[in-house]
Structure 1
Amino acid sequence: MSDAEDRGPGGARPVLTVRDLSVQVATDAGAKTVLDGLSFDLIAGETLALAGESGSGKSMTALAIMGLLPKPMARVSGGTIRLGDTDLTALSERGYRQIRSARVAMIFQEPMTSLNPLMTVQRQLCEVLLEHRVCSRRQAPKRALRLLQDVRLTEPERRLSQYPHELSGGMRQRVMIAMALACDPEILIADEPTTALDVTVQAEILDLIRTLQAEHGTAVLMITHDMGVVAEMADRVVVLREGRQEEAAPVRDLFAAPKTDYARTLLAAVPRLGTAPDRPVHPEAQKIVEVDDLSVRFDIAGGLLNRTVARVHAVEGVSFHIRERETLALVGESGCGKSTIGKALLGLVPWDGSIRIGGVQTRGRSRAAMRPVLRDIQMVFQDPGASLDARMSVGEQVVEPMRVHGLASGSELGDRAEWLFRRVGLSPDMLSRYPHEFSGGQRQRVCIARALSLSPRVIIADESVSALDVSVQAQVLDLLQELQEQDGLSYLFISHDMAVIEQVADRVVVMRLGQVMEDGTRDAVLRDPQHPYTKRLLAAVPVPDPTRTRAPLPDTAGIEEASPIFPVGSAPARVELRQMSPGHRVAH
């Protein structure tokens, strides 16, 4: 390759050059190519995004660059990866150990699986520093503290002595970033670094990566399927599909005029705040779910006698209702009590207050008495892979609720299963397959079919599309709305994604620390927010438009730091909701 060819965009010499990279994995049917002829350059100080859906080869590219392909199952079958003048594909494992962290570092999607649960934060940071001889053993603790300060971690001195399970998701991700930057690498590979995080934490992490990049001049390879993150972070984009490069362009050019049908489809599927159409109003419809003064608390034991010393006030005095054909959205960050409310409606956690489903009070009812009530309310969970039994065919799992409730038997079960599969856009000949034979979107459709098997009146959708690619997410949301129109279903839609909420919700309840901060119609809450917390949630949503710069998050004034954990005998102060306009209430 000539010196001229070795230059990247704008004539700058790249720190990383990938040419015709191909990766193969071993399967029962023989070698399968999962990455085919990928080429790109990464320039010092820039952010290059690898974008595409699950299975497109994004993470496989990162693992190939880091020398972390699972051997002997996967191997680089062709092409070159050059870090400056070093050919990474020719390195031994010993050679790679000198490169990792020191010159190329990686932030993984799920920090809890990347951090050692048996080691304190300080010990893990010091291990990286000492392995690469960044400083002496005596200097390592001070250097570790400075790294935590650099990533803006609160109370860094205290965090050093903590274990990963004692930190929130956002804190763990900051520790991962600190470890990645410990050796001041030339390249930072961020593999879906914000997918598992709440929207406000995601915004903080993206701001942090951008700030650290500017301070250190680090090149960033951002791997994501979130086109909002691409628009916000990237200078250039490479769009991957099934292991092949579909399109490569500067980020503004891609969003303004995508050249391939796939890129156009990917961008069209991105939910955008402020673009959702009006939804039909059913003000006189019957109330299907009525919740009044709901509270859920969990005991924390401690001391020599293992007595209850504190309580988690997961839900505190929440009231709402859901009408026929209506979608009520519960919005908020992790730990605000959204999923706990869903579990309380199904009787999966102990609770206080009043819950009426179809006019029937569920408090104090036995399991047998609850069975007919539970036919009216079903749940679709976030992770379809975890909520399906890997040892049973999907057909068996779809008909199991009907067997339990004695609604059908014999050939009628098979006929009903085939009908349900057609309803959710799956072929009846798939009924004999097992969960691992389906894609993520198809598995979620199976879970929806199972939820529909009892002809419920209400479906609780608990983060049911957050784990899906954007185009699959759009398909599942369309399916849920189609079923609502055809069957008159009501939904309790639990999510932290404000753009998705706008697409599906009639009314919105914003929660924080187990209590309601704001509730009202979709337009009132999302387009005229009154509470500082709601404003902060909305301001954190990535905008899928590279010509617009997301404003800094609003100041946290009025959003005091707090915890839902209180000693026995104490409880949080109940917030009062003030009517701002008809049907729009705000905590004060």
Structure 2
Amino acid sequence: MSETVLTVRDLSVQVATPSGAKTVLDGLSFDLKRGETLCLAGESGSGKSMTALAIMGLLPEPMCRIAGGSVKLGDLELTTLGPRGYRDIRSVRVAMIFQEPMTSLNPLMTVQDQLAEVLLEHGACNRGEAPARALKLLQDVQLTEPERRLKQYPHELSGGMRQRVMIAMALACDPEVLIADEPTTALDVTVQAEILDLIRALQKDHGTAVLMITHDMGVVAEMADRVVILRHGQEVESAPVRDLFAAPQSDYARELLAAVPRLGTAPPRPEMEKGAPVLEVSDLSVRFDMRGGILNRVQARVHAVEQVSFTVRAGETLALVGESGCGKSTIGKALLGLVPWQGSISVLGQQTHGMGPGALKPVRRDIQMVFQDPGASLDARMTVGEQVAEPLVIHGLSSGSEMSDRTAELFRRVGLSPDMMQRYPHEFSGGQRQRINIARALSLSPKILVADESVSALDVSVQAQILELLQSLQDEDGLAFLFISHDMAVIEQVADRVMVMRLGQVVEEGVRDAVLHSPRHPYTRRLLSAVPVPDPTRPLPERQAGDASGTPVLPVGQSPEKLILRDLGAGHRAAV
């Protein structure tokens, strides 16, 4: 029988509100054994992160406090420890990896100094040994060029590299328990796969117990031995991972699993007659100058998008997919004239090249955008009704009671009550805010909707509702969608055609099933192999080896080699 290293019994956490104390975690109990991975799963606001902060003694007191229960690390009761007691056990016996590594690393210290600080603080080595120990830690987390990384600052590293540094810091003193709070949520799918593989390998080597916090059921299936599902601060179900996925006992667990998009299970797209082209893009390029030196001259250029061409027809969904920095969001901004670009963009047969803001204004009525972060897209000082009506005011299309009626109808179309029009953005959930953004985008009756990672910030059940809403709007109005995403499972749900981008260029394109089920380019295969599958009985896939070669940043006067797409039949083309 494995030794129990962490015991949580009847843990309750309360936060102070103007109306009194509110319980956000209510009577949670679980055990964590050495070498085991326990996943706390659930949607936003379920109490997952509160559990981790309570265990680590990081609750922001006095606004938030442990109201009852017990947390034992071995035989040590943590709920009665003071700040000094917690300092003695953090990193040494229990450590934590946070969701956003940039907020956890000191921007003013090199990687070596930050690793050395942890080692010296807890007496793991003396000052003379610290550089060698820091190097060994980076080697253990498989960071490329570890000697060079030691001298770099956090902003000089990619998101995946920063997360590896965080893992190295967490494991520096060989803790008994590692708490990983959404450690891969902010990362690309291929980087996520590498980080999950790394945590598994390190756990095997060190026998560490892992408490993994996630909302991604694919990650749960890959990582967990046991699962505790939380909702509104209470345990809904607790079971071994295979039992949970095979036969969930609670309605909520069944709903959560049913909402997970699974790659390879999307039904065939309905054979609808697509209309005339509404968006035609030819040889689109977007480049940004990088200045430096005493004279602030242009020293290099970022080739964010390089000679990309595509067409979207009425009623069709074209998905742009790729990792961060591939240029997919830049294409969306170029279509709306938000960044300078070269090439040809035609919206409903009208060329937009060289148009000033005044001439672009009527064109923008036909092409609207739904952004990734629903909160950041709304003005906190305006009611949501005013914001949905604002495009109608700007374009002089409506006023008075007619505008009020039109706004109410838009709210109904996106599944919200017109009674909500006088509320402010902070009074809504993330999913409701995204519905408001969609209503605003629809206010001008556009022909093209650009959805830039429009569901990536949402919980899986809310994500499914928004995708269903977008599909129904397309069916009703014949809208054309340019759907930008890094999530291949979501892409499969919505796309008619798929374009895969890497370093500003298209590497593969074609109808959905051809690209996702018969990929020909190594990069497409790598993206697909990295997608976590919500099936714990499935053997872990052989990950495609990463290819770190290439950069979109080139010296002035130098251009990237243009990829030639070879026709593979039936509209399927790839750079092979």
CA deviation after TM superposition for structure 1 residue 280, in Å: 2.5
Is 1:561 equivalent to 2:549 in the alignment?
A: yes
Whole-Å separation in 2 of the counterparts to 1:435 and 1:116 = 32
Give CA-to-partner distance per residue, 1:430-487, whole Å, 9 cap, x none: 1111111111111111111111111111111100101111101000000000110011
Per-residue CA distance 1:9-51 (angstroms, 9 max, x = gap): xx43310000000000000110000000000000000000000
Displacement of 1:181 in angstroms is 0.6
| Number of the residue aligned with 1:4 | none
Separation in 1, partners of 2:359, 2:270: 35
1:153-192 superposed matches below 5 A: 153-192=143-182
Alpha-carbon distance in structure 1 between the residues aligned to 2:275 and 2:493 = 21
- Name the counterpart of 1:435: 425
Shift of 1:282: 4.4
- Tell me if structure 2 keeps the 8 A contact 1:51–1:223: yes
| TM-score where L is the length of structure 2 | 0.99
1:276 counterpart SS class: coil
The equivalent residue for 2:124 is 134
* 2:323 alignment partner, one of 333, 352, 362: 333
Find out whether 1:65 has 2:55 as its counterpart: yes
Alignment of 1:34-113 (within 5 A): 34-113=24-103
What pairs up with 1:286-297 in 2 under 5 angstroms? 286-297=276-287
Could you tell me how far apart the structure 2 residues matched to 1:283 and 1:523 are? 18
Aligned twin of 2:484: 494
In structure 1, distance between residues paired with 2:275 and 2:437: 27
- CA distance in structure 1 between the partners assigned to 2:94 and 2:427 by the alignment: 35
Cα pair 2:320 2:501 within 8 Å, conserved: yes
Which residue matches 2:562?
574
SS in structure 2 of the partner of residue 523 of structure 1: helix
Matches within 5 A, 1:392-431: 392-431=382-421
Between the aligned partners of 2:152 and 2:273, the Cα distance in structure 1 is 51
Q: Is the 8 A contact 2:274 2:314 kept in 1?
A: no
Letter in 2 for 1:198: D
- Aligned AA for 1:561? S
What amino acid is the match of 1:368? G
Residues of 1 paired with 2:298 and 2:361: CA distance?
A: 32
Asked if the contact 1:542/1:550 (under 8 Å) is kept, the reply is no
Give the CA deviation at 1:501: 0.2
Partner of 1:363: 353
Q: Which residue of 1 aligns with 2:201?
A: 211
Contact 1:294–1:315 at 8 Å: present in 2 too? yes
**For residues 245 and 162 of structure 1, what CA distance do their matches in structure 2 show?**
43
Query: Conserved in 1, the CA contact under 8 Å of 2:510 and 2:573?
Result: yes
Following superposition, the deviation at residue 281 of structure 1 comes to 3.5
The aligned counterpart of 1:201 is: 191
Count the aligned residue pairs: 576
Task: Give the 3-state SS of the residue equivalent to 1:549 in structure 2.
Answer: coil
**Which one of 112, 118, 137 corresponds to residue 122 of structure 1?**
112
Partner of 1:5 in structure 2?
A: none
2:441 paired with 1:451 = yes
Query: What is the identity, as a one-letter code, of the residue corresponding to 2:287?
Result: R
- Normalising by structure 1, what TM-score? 0.97
Question: Tell me, which stretches of 5 or more residues in structure 2 are unaligned?
Answer: none
1:52-107 alpha-carbon deviations (Å, 9 max, x no partner): 00000000000000000011110000000000011000000111111111111111
Deviations 1:496-536 (A, max 9, x none): 10000000000000000000000000001001100000000
1:552 shift after superposition: 2.0
Runs (4 or more) in structure 1 with deviation over 2 Å come to 280-284
Deviations 1:537-564 (A, max 9, x none): 00001010000022121234xx461110
The whole-number CA distance in structure 1 between the counterparts of 2:272 and 2:305 is 28
Contact 2:274 / 2:316 at 8 angstroms: preserved in 1? no
- C-alpha distance in structure 2 between counterparts of 1:297 and 1:513, whole Å: 12
Q: Which amino acid aligns with 1:480?
A: L
Structure 2 counterpart of 1:320, from 310, 313, 317: 310
- SS of residue in 1 equivalent to 2:211: strand
Q: Distance in 2 between matches of 1:380 and 1:346?
A: 12
Q: What do the CA deviations read for 1:352-406 (whole angstroms, capped 9, x no partner)?
A: 0000011110000111000000000111111111111111111111111111111
Q: How far is 1:414 from its partner?
A: 1.4
Per-residue deviation, 1:285: 1.6
SS of residue matched to 1:543: coil
Partner of 1:256 in structure 2? 246
- CA contact 1:543–1:550 (8 Å) conserved in 2: no
* Structure 1 contact 379–460 (Cα < 8 Å) conserved: yes
Q: CA deviation at 1:283?
A: 5.6
* Residues 521 and 575 in structure 2, CA contact (< 8 A), matched pair in contact too: yes
* Pairing of 1:207-356 with structure 2 (within 5 A): 207-282=197-272, 285-356=275-346
Which residue of 2, 8, 13 corresponds with 1:23? 13
- Secondary structure of 1:259's partner? coil
2:274 and 2:315 in contact (8 A); partners too: no
Find out whether 1:468 has 2:442 as its counterpart: no
Equivalent-residue separation in structure 2 for 1:426 and 1:488 (angstroms)? 22
Are 2:499 and 2:508, in contact at CA under 8 Å, matched by a contact in 1? yes
| Cα separation, 1, equivalents of 2:119 and 2:257 | 41
Between the aligned partners of 1:219 and 1:520, the Cα distance in structure 2 is: 44
Q: Look up the SS of the partner of 1:34 in the other structure.
A: strand
Distance 1:53 1:456 in 2: 33
Q: Measure the CA separation in 1 of the matches of 2:90 and 2:209.
A: 15
2:377 matched to which residue of 1? 387
CA contact (8 A) 2:259 2:461 kept: yes
3-state DSSP class of the match of 2:382?
Answer: coil
